Amino acid sequence: MSYTVEIQSIKNVTHDVKQFTCQKPEGFTFEPGQATEVSVNKEGWKDEKRPFTFTSLNDDPHLQFTIKIYDDHDGVTKQIGKLSEGDEFIIDDPWGTIQYKGPGVFLAGGAGVTPFIAIFRDLYKKGEVNGNKLIFSNKTDRDIILEDEFEEILGDNFVNVITDEPTDEYVYLDGFIDKAYLEQQIDDFDQPFYVCGPMAFNEAMMDYLKELGASPDALIFEE
């Protein structure tokens, strides 16, 4: 089923990430970590659907999406980046396989952190954050999404890894998070692991985790 929802507010989160707060259809429900197909309600773009995660909670009176805008090609997110309050999205019913299975390590690459936003907000609201850790990989410190909020929620269990520019403030790794770094950061490979990022990031993380002894059944990712 499809729903047309009006955009009520737009906020810049980073230099290329925006937060869209929208109407919530009556009776619409979803779980933290779930997504929906979204298109822009403008001529020529209504059938161009892309998956985006809800970053609001189910109890909120609105829907929220936190979306990275790619201005370098004329695609859906570039169109989304041009939208104003009062414009509309078309969304479908929720779907998704990243669901919370208990305390563990979350590994996110760039905008891949978005399924984890609602999960952490939900855990924080319920007082159940303890035992969770987020290792967040970005190219530069300008790319870190919701840094202050993650610090408030997770404290020392929020670890930033920067891969494209040397830094004194954050962990700097030249390229992807590697196996040696995971081994250094994680002392228990019998816990759940939540992985979301670009395909190459996901594949590398899964391979490293399996090599380090993680059970394939404990790896939670978007299928």
Which pLDDT band, with edges at 50, 70 and 90, does 173 fall under?
confident
Average pLDDT for 136-145: 96
CA separation for the pair 86, 70 (Å, rounded): 22
pLDDT at 20: 98
Give the chain's length.
223
The string of pLDDT tens digits covering residues 15-42 is 999 999 999 999 999 999 999 999 999 9
| Domain 105-221: CATH architecture, name and number where available | 3-Layer(aba) Sandwich (3.40)
Give residue 168's pLDDT band: very low, low, confident or very high (50, 70, 90). confident
- Burial pattern 71-81, b for ≥16 Cβ within 10 A else e, equals eeeeebbebbb
Q: Find out if CATH 2.40.30.10 is the number for domain 3-91.
A: yes
Which H or E element spans position 50?
strand 50-53
Question: How many other C-beta atoms lie within 10 A of the C-beta of residue 168?
Answer: 5
CB 17 within 8 A of CB 26: no
pLDDT band at 74 (very low <50, low <70, confident <90, very high): confident
pLDDT score at 195: 97
> What proportions of the chain, in percent to the nearest 5, are helix, strand and coil?
25, 30, 45
Rg over alpha carbons for the chain, rounded to the nearest Å, is: 18
Which residues, in sequence order, are CB contacts of 111 under 8 Å at separation 6+? 17, 67, 68, 145
Contact 220, 101 (CB under 8 A): yes
User: For the chain, what are the domain ranges?
Assistant: 3-91, 105-221
Helix extents (H) in the chain: 76-81, 114-126, 147-154, 179-185, 199-211
Strands 88-91 and 3-14, sheet pairing: antiparallel
